[in-house]
Amino acid sequence: MRKFIARKAMCNAAEFAFERLLHHAKIKSVDFDSQTLIKIAKQHEIGLRRIKLALPYLKKEYGHSVRQVDGKYVTKLRWSNVPARVVLDYVFGLDQVFNWRGHHVGIDVTANPESVYDKQGKLAGLKVLWRAIGIDFCSVFLVNIPEDRPAEMRVDALVSAIRKIVKAEGEQVVELGL
């Protein structure tokens, strides 16, 4: 139960709704190790830049203070303390990675229609990174969550959207209403 609460707290409403929909559809997420992800990212120039951009946040959230010989404290980061999902999000730009009939699909979830094309450009720029960790297809999912009623678990719409991603064999933007 504790692990579930931590995962819920780190993601926004659209990401959480999408994760619930994947769970409801019985689609399993791909498990990664944060140290392996960092090792792969460090092999690419774009990965090094993304790590450098993410370090201040990661040190603040997951770092620990170490006292040096001169008495000053320095914040250190152990990659093993950082959840792999956080590394996927901040370094690789992905919120979800799952296996769909033998294909690894990476998803960046958003509820903001104005950020869709920026996210699509980001994913295209990070293609070398997500290819390096074995992801075949990436897409941005624009999730529309109604305010006047609870979100519905529309598995058929999700399956149809995933099929479009795999058949198109490329990055695209998919709108998913719940």
- pLDDT tens sequence across 2-30: 333 333 333 477 888 888 888 888 898 99
Query: pLDDT at residue 66 above 50?
Result: yes
Q: Please, is 140 exposed, middle or buried when counting C-beta atoms within 10 Å of its C-beta (0-12, 13-18, 19+)?
A: buried
Query: pLDDT at residue 136 above 70?
Result: yes
Q: What pLDDT does residue 1 have?
A: 39
- pLDDT tens sequence across 143-164: 887 777 666 667 888 888 888 8
Q: Per-residue pLDDT averaged across 112-137, rounded? A: 91
Tally of CB atoms within 10 A around 17? 20
Q: Per-residue pLDDT averaged across 84-97, rounded? A: 94
Tally of CB atoms within 10 A around 6? 10
Q: What pLDDT does residue 173 have?
A: 75
For the chain, counts of helices (H) and of strands (E)? 8, 6
Q: What pLDDT does residue 167 have?
A: 83
Is pLDDT larger for residue 167 or for residue 37? 37
Beta bridge partners of 138: 106
pTM of the model: 0.82
Q: Per-residue pLDDT averaged across 41-65, rounded? A: 95
Whole-number Cα distances in Å, 131 to 125, 126, 134: 11, 9, 5
Amino acid at 19: E
> CB under 8 Å to 20, separation ≥6 — which residues?
151, 153
